[in-house]
Each structure stands twice: as structure tokens, then as C-alpha cells.
Chain A
Amino acid sequence: MKLPALGAENGAEMNRRKFMKNAAAVATVALAPGITLTAFGGAADAQASPDSRWGLLIDVSKCSSDCDACVTACSKENGWKDKGNPLTDAQWIRKVDLVDNETGREISAPVMCQHCDDAPCVDVCPTTASFKRADGIVLVDKHACIGCRYCMMACPYKARSFIHEEVADEDRKSWAPRGRGTVESCTLCVHRVDKGETPACAVACGETGNGAILFGDLMDPESEIAKRLAEYPSVALRDDLGLNPGVRYQNL
């Protein structure tokens, strides 16, 4: 297991710095009448610390197959939704039902952007629109994304969606910029994390009583997530690829 490591600062990181420094200016960019675009929480520059690495621990044994509270919460929080076109509608998080081929054991688990340490989407993005913050959160700079979809080809988790049609005004959140022709995915609710809050999916999962999604700082040995990871076995999805994702699964 290889968790907290954050890669050496690369071009994408530098881009993030510049990007965040411009956040205040960006915040005034009007996208549509009544909609103002803020870049992921505005003052994030001061908060995206290389001393943290944010991640999720998903206990599959606590995840119920008939519950999609995490999906609903994410949709409500970030403005994407099921519009009846399953092939083209965006899904930042989805519930995957699994049946063990050998034993027939049935389980269910949420899958979202795994916030890889060595993210293929960041590697392949031609314009550095896909980038990783110093605290490990992988994002899309919506101003630099040209909609080439190469990141979607590269992501082993199908975590990203392409916005195929115009986004209605009511689906635009000032903290989660969305625009037709660009790619989007789970932001780990970076706007909440930067305010010291927990991502919407983890909160909603807790409220159901299941408590299958645990959010925390993987680099803080005192955090509950770090303690649980140290104490119990966990796996990364497609661990063979060596991407060191920030999202881990227990009891899979």
C-alpha cells in the first residue's frame, strides 16, 4: 500500500498555483446572466496544503445496494442530474452492484473520481486543464478544458463525464462550474473541503446511518481515516496500475 505520497511539483501543479492565484479575478467572470463563476472555493490557494492529502475510505460491507444517498447528495450539491439520457447524462458518482464470479457474494459500492496520486487524466491532458492540487484533489480547470475527452479515454475508473448539451441555469452552482463541451468529475466537494467541511456524499452516507464513506486527511496520522487504514486491510481499485488513488475500499 502506498498512500499519502504526493508527487513532486510538476507542470500541472504550477498551473494550479497560477490558476488559484487568479481565483479572485475569475470569480468575477460572468458565465450567464445571474451566474458568477468562482474557481473552486475562491481562496483555495492558501488552503490547498501539500501537508494534507484528502481521501475517502469506503467500507463496502456497510454500503447497501438499495441506497443511493451519496449519489443523490452529490447531484444536489453540484448540479448534475439524471435527465433521462443514461448514455450522455453526467454522473460524478455512481453505485456499482457487484457479484463475485466465484462465490456469488453480492455487494455494492460507490465509484467516483479516485483522486489518483499519479493521475492518468492529468498526464494525458494536453492543456493542463486536468490538474492535481497540492492536497491531492484532482480537478478540471473549466477555463482550459478544450473538450478533447482524452482524459476520459485514460481514466481507468470511468470517473469523468462530458457535458453533451447546454447546462440549465438552475443546474449551475457558483462553486461547481459546468459548461457544455467540457469534461467534469467529482471534485471531492473541494468547495466544502476548503471551508473545513466534509464532502456531500460522506455526509449523506452518515445521515442514512450506514456510515460507509469516511472522509479525511490521509497524511494526518491522528485522523480516523489514517487510523482505520493503518489498522484494517483495504484496497485501491485497479491497484495493479500503481496510480495510488486517494480513495480506498474495505471489505471488497
Chain B
Amino acid sequence: MERTIYREIPASRPIIQVAVLLGVFIAAAAGAWFYIEHYGHIVTGMNNQIVWGMPHVFAIFLIVAASGALNVASIASVFGKTPYKPMARLSALLALALLAGGLAVLVLDLGRPDRLIIAMTKYNFGSIFAWNVILYNGFFVVVGAYLFVQMSRSMPYSIIRTVGTIAFVWRLILTTGTGSIFGWLVARTAYDAAIMAPLFIAMSFAIGLAVFVLVLTATCRLTDRAIGPKILDRMGNLLGVFAAAVLYFTIVQHLSNIYVAEHSGIERFILLEGGIYTNLFWIGQILIGGIIPIILVYHPTGGKKPASTIVASALVVIGGFSQIYVIVVGGQAFPLEIFPGFTASSSFSDGIINSYVPSYLEILFGFGGVALAIAITGFGMKVLRILPTNLSDVNIGQE
């Protein structure tokens, strides 16, 4: 067994090809954004009923993934699991990059992105949205410091552990804040539930780890660095636990709602009659994002194979995206009940299911955020000693 040696990734041909591809996505997103910025949101699929659309789905996905991507570092330094330690730097870097990508999309989708300075200087401390601004900024500081102490020479483990613990607590609070953006909306029956906060935390654990596995394995393959099947199997098993936790909170969320007569309408919509939203829920979230990955990683024989963990990770990403789409867009599609006991109609979409078809501009724009997050991660790995040269099982050691 050799020492764990961290090295920058080389500017090899495959790495450059990926960088060019990411550049194309980022350029396309920039073009889409300029077009929207020039003509206004009229050119998107968003409207006065579906006010948050595809850009928010991408942004929330990336922000939720960001806090979850920190899992591996937390497991290493907060919970002291040795095999995870060589991957802890990548975990922190990826968390920062995903948050940057998500916030870029969120901020650029504002009606007035030029007024970002107002969001940074005029706080309504009663607004969970304003609290999120503070939590996001703090995440950069805390996780940045965490990455710094991890990479510093001869830094005592006690300090790494302390900073790591602060980062771990911070990311829990941050995702509580993200979930509460929806949980504290009393007006809409799809939201207005305290369970949104723990649900989002469970989602962040699952999506974040899945994204981490995909980025790690892709980078190792592109740079010819070994990664052992045992460590991947460990992460796969953990992913199974997280995916099960998401299913658990989802079941509690919907069962609680079904029990309340007032919420039966939205439940009927999401679970049975919502068309695209019902399909995304059952097929996207529950089947592809929950049941199949759990079977894959816990299968008695197949579950040990690296491919199982990698495929399960990809499925959890698809399921997580579907889930956020159902929450964000599906929740708005169901009409607000302003006059209980009446059937309402108006020129302002009262009483009808609201329609939303995302424009290709929004989709390009959202993928730009993903590409930006990956590009930042890649750039970080290129200039900093983030990733070990060897992650084979024999090399990363035991507990």
C-alpha cells in the first residue's frame, strides 16, 4: 500500500474534450439567458400562474445536490470513517461548485438580475428567502474553509473535524431553509407542510451522493485513476439508505395530506389525475429514483458490482430531478382554492389546472448551470490537488 498522494488532473485529450463540451453548454446557456434578458420572461414558458419553472427546478436540484455532495467529507472527518478520507476534498469542492451552478441559474432567472446587490444589502429578516441568501453565502465561506484546512499541510485532525462539523451542521440548516421555502407557503395546499424540510434533507443526501459518485467515477475513468469496487459498493449501500429515506418521507408527506380533506384535491392531482406530474411522480421519482436503485444496490450478487452503484446513482439523479419538478411545477399547476365550495372561473385561470410547457431556452439555461458546476469542479481538480492518484481498495485502507 502506498501513501495517498493527491495530484492535479492532467490536461489530457479526454479532459480537454469534456471541457470543450462543457464550454458549448455554458455558451448555449449564456445565449439563452441573453435572449430571455432582452425580450423578458414572455419568451419562456413561465406565466402568471406557473411563476417558477424549469430554471428553478434546475437551480433547486443543484442547490439540494450541493449540500448533499458534502456527505462524503462529513462521513470522513465528522464521523471518522477512514476509507472516505481520500475523497473528502473532492466532496467539498463539488459542493461549492454545485451551489455556484445552482445560484447562477437562480439569480439569472430573476426578473431584475441587475438588482442582485439589493438582495445582498436589503434583508427582510422575516423572509426565509432572505435567510437562504445568508445560508448560501455562509456555505461558501464554511465549506471553503473546510476545503482549506483539509488541504493544509500538517493541519491537526481536531481542527479539520471541528470545521467539518460546522460545515455539516451548516448544510443541514441550509437544506432546512431550502425545504422551508416551500414548507412555509401557507397559501398552497401542495406545500404548507413542515415535512418539506426533512424531505429536502433526505433528497439532498441521496441526490448529492449520487452526483458525487457520477463525478468521481467519470473523473477516475477519464484520468486513468483506479477506484476500488469495495469503496463504490459502500457508497452504493449508503445511496440505498438515502433513497429509502426519501421514499419514507415522501410516503409520510402524501399519507398526511390524504388524511386532511382540504388537501385531498392536490393529492388526487399528483397521485392519480395529474398527467405529466403523476407520471413523473410514479415512474420518475418512485420507480426510477427509488425502487430500482434500491434493488440494484442491495441485490445479493449484482449489488456488489461497481456498475450497480453507478447506474443507481444515475437513476437517483433522474428521480430527484423528477421529484423537484413535481414539487415546484406540479404544486403550482394545481389551482388555488380561493372560494371553497364553489366552482370558479375567470380570465385569470381561476379554477383550472395551470399549464406550463418549458421553452427550450429555459432547458438550455438550466443545463448551463449543470455544466458550470461540472466545469468549476474540473477546473478545481486541474489546479488543486483534489483527487488521489489511486483509490483502489487496497490503497485507501480500512477503518
Are the C-beta atoms of A149 and B40 separated by less than 8 Å?
no
CB neighbours (8 Å) of B346 from chain A are: 94-97, 111
B52 interface residue (CB < 8 Å to A): yes
A161 with B127, Cβ < 8 A, contacts A87-B349, A146-B112 known: no
For the complex, give the distance between the alpha carbons of A162 and B41 in Å: 9
Interchain CB contact under 8 A, A98 and B342: yes
Q: Are A127 and B111 in contact (CB under 8 A)?
A: no
From A90, A100, A148, A181, contact of B40 by CB (8 A): A181
Q: Which of A41-49, A117-125, A212-220 contacts B (4 or more CB under 8 A)?
A: A117-125
How far, in whole Å, are A181 and B127 apart by their CA atoms in the complex?
20
- Which of B47, B112, B338 is the one whose CB lies under 8 Å from A164? B47
Flag if B112 contacts A145 (CB, 8 Å): yes
Determine whether B255 belongs to the interface, using a CB cutoff of 8 Å to chain A: no
Q: How far, in angstroms, from A82 to B264 measured CA to CA in the complex?
A: 34
Within 8 A of B (CB), among A123-157: 123-129, 144-150, 152-157
Q: How many residues of A contact B (CB 8 A)?
A: 58
Give the docked Cα–Cα distance between A24 and B338 (Å). Answer: 39
Question: Does B260 lie at the interface of the complex (its beta carbon under 8 Å from any beta carbon of A)?
Answer: no
Shortest Cβ distance from residue B237 to the other chain A in the assembled complex, whole angstroms: 38
A11 at the interface (CB under 8 A from B): yes
Chain A residues 85-128 with CB under 8 Å of chain B are 85-91, 94-102, 111, 120, 123-128
Q: With a CB–CB cut-off of 8 A, which chain A residues contact B116?
A: 146
Pick the residue among B39, B130, B185 that contacts A127 (CB under 8 A).
B130
Task: Assess whether B74 is interfacial by the CB under 8 Å rule.
Answer: no
Residues of A contacting B128 with CB < 8 Å? 124
**A87-B111 in contact given A126-B127, A127-B124, A158-B350 (Cβ < 8 Å):** no
Instruction: Assess whether B122 is interfacial by the CB under 8 Å rule.
Output: yes
Whether the pair B342, A148 counts as a contact (CB closer than 8 A) is: no
Give chain A nearest CB distance to B101 CB in angstroms.
Answer: 18
Instruction: Establish whether residues B111 and A149, one from each chain, have CB atoms under 8 Å apart when the complex forms.
Output: yes
* Contact flag A145-B350 (CB < 8 Å), given A87-B49, A153-B52: no
Chain A residues whose C-beta falls within 8 Å of the C-beta of B130 in the assembled complex: 126-127
Cross-interface CB contact of A99 among B48, B111, B125, B342, cutoff 8 Å: B342
Q: Which residues of A contact B112 (CB under 8 A)?
A: 145-147, 181-182
Q: Find out whether the CB atom of A145 lies under 8 angstroms from the CB atom of B341.
A: no
Name the B residues within 8 Å of A126 (CB-CB): 119, 123-124, 127, 129-130, 133
B52 touches A101 (CB 8 A): no
Interface residues of B in 335-357 (CB under 8 A from A): 336, 338-339, 341-350, 355
Is B42 on the interface with A (CB-CB < 8 A)? yes
Flag if B110 contacts A148 (CB, 8 Å): yes
Taking a contact as CB atoms closer than 8 A, the residue among B42, B111, B336, B339 that contacts A88 in the complex is B42
Closest to A161 in B: B48
Residues of A close to B342: CB separation below 8 A: 98-101
Q: Given the complex of chains A and B, what is the CA–CA distance between A241 and B187 in angstroms?
A: 8
Residue pair B118, A158 in contact (C-beta under 8 Å):
no
A33 to chain B, nearest CB (A): 20
Closest residue to B188 on the A side, CB-wise? Answer: A153
C-beta contact mask, B29-54 vs A, less than 8 Å → 1, else 0?
A: 00000000001111000111101100
- Lowest 9 CB-CB distances: which A-B pairs, in order? A147-B111, A181-B111, A156-B187, A87-B47, A126-B130, A126-B129, A149-B51, A165-B42, A98-B342
Which B residues contact A (CB, under 8 angstroms)? Answer: 39-42, 46-49, 51-52, 110-113, 115-116, 118-119, 122-130, 133, 181, 184-188, 332, 336, 338-339, 341-350, 355
Question: CB within 8 Å of B: which residues of A?
Answer: 10-12, 15, 82, 85-91, 94-102, 111, 120, 123-129, 144-150, 152-158, 161-166, 180-183, 237-238, 241, 252
5 A-B contact pairs sorted by A residue (CB < 8 Å): A94-B350, A126-B133, A156-B187, A158-B350, A164-B42
